[in-house]
Amino acid sequence: MKMMKTVLRLALGSILIIVPAWAATVMLTFDELPFVPVNNLTFRGVTFRFQVGGVPSTDAHYQALGPGQIVYVQDPSLEGNAAGTLTLEFQDATRILEFGVTMSTLGHPGRYTYCIAENEDASPWPPYHAGRGFPVVASTVTLFAGEAPHGISDHSSRTARALGGSLGWSMAGLWNSKHFPLYSHTMLVVGPEHARTFADDGWSKEDLKRHLFETVRRPYRALLPDEDHGEGTNLRFGTTESRPGPETMISKFPSTEEIHVVVAGGTAGRFSVAIPGWLGTKNGSRPVTRAVQ
């Protein structure tokens, strides 16, 4: 059987192989062997071949880390470069082959390797976890359901107010340019050089978050669908009773509590990154921070 997928990385869940009645059913859960390339690997009657561009490749592994525990794929998984071709050769005739594949409408590599470290040495502010109720000296990990990073370049702003507006209005298009307010939490990763600009003007994280919340606003009339932009503002204003007046200014961000600020990255330029979150409503998700023991 030959498979090719067009996402950046491919992860397969456990494989169930139904063979003729005289042979036993085989289940591979990808935790039976150590982390090892699957090309030319033979295990329990299955030989794996993996090629990229027609050339044998080691860029697919048994007992790899995929997207975690989701509906059709659970770690460990068989994970590899989706530009390649995975071929399964069976020792016995096989009638049915079942497996889970992780997919999304538009995927990105962060489904597997999206982990950043806060640059506490370059930050003028207390670490992120201190604002979430943990001691400054604690080691923590935060899980944030985020999209791919959206880079923001600003090499000109030299005041906290100007830079805050530049970052904020650059985030006005997250999800959609008419989605005011967002349904989701938002993570703003401030680069060290931008962080220094805020620090030089004496701004705290709360000052920045409040400025974003109060500044990035548009009148409700500008958020309605029209001939040039068919999308409109969100379901918060779905009923007549909930709709604001046409000149009411609507913030991009639902609250300051749903804006998260962390300093990360290096000093190679004046860049920051916005990471839109997933739905933050009761049917969505919110960031979770836990101490590392």
Domain-ending residue, one of 74, 93, 110: 110
Successive 10-residue mean pLDDT values, the chain, 293 residues: 34 53 72 93 91 90 75 75 82 77 64 82 96 95 90 97 98 95 94 97 98 97 93 76 90 96 93 90 83 90
Q: Tell whether the torsion through CA atoms of 134, 164, 122 and 264 is positive or negative.
A: positive
Residues 6+ apart with CB under 8 A from 210: 256
Q: Are residues 145 and 82 in the same domain?
A: no
Q: Are residues 67 and 139 in the same domain?
A: no
Q: How far apart are CA 278 and CA 198, in angstroms?
A: 28
Is-contact 205 243, C-beta < 8 A?
no
Q: Are residues 89 and 169 in the same domain?
A: no
Q: Are residues 151 and 275 in the same domain?
A: yes
Q: Are residues 104 and 65 in the same domain?
A: yes
Is-contact 143 292, C-beta < 8 A?
no
pLDDT reported for residue 102? 64
Domain-ending residue, one of 77, 110, 143: 110
pLDDT reported for residue 111? 65
C-alpha count within 13 angstroms, C-beta hemisphere, residue 115 = 5
pTM of the model: 0.71
Which of these, 173, 170, 174, lies nearest to 162 by C-alpha position? 170
Count of the separate structural domains present in the chain: 2
Which tokens in the block code for residue 250?
A: 């609507």
Partner residues linked to 183 by β-bridges: none
Which run of H or of E encompasses 244?
A: none
Alpha carbon distances (Å) from 107 to 4, 10, 102, 202, 272? 15, 10, 10, 39, 22
State the first-to-last Cα distance of the chain, in angstroms, to the nearest integer: 44
Alpha carbon distances (Å) from 184 to 20, 114, 132, 189? 50, 19, 18, 16
Q: Are residues 230 and 141 in the same domain?
A: yes
Domain that holds residue 48: 2-110
Which of these, 72, 83, 103, 91, lies nearest to 4 by C-alpha position? 83
Residues 6+ apart with CB under 8 A from 44: 26, 28, 32
Cβ atoms within 10 A of the Cβ of 138, count?
Answer: 14
Q: Are residues 129 and 244 in the same domain?
A: yes
Q: Are residues 124 and 252 in the same domain?
A: yes
pLDDT reported for residue 236? 74
Domain-ending residue, one of 67, 94, 110: 110
Q: How far apart are CA 280 and CA 248, in angstroms?
A: 23
pLDDT reported for residue 264? 95
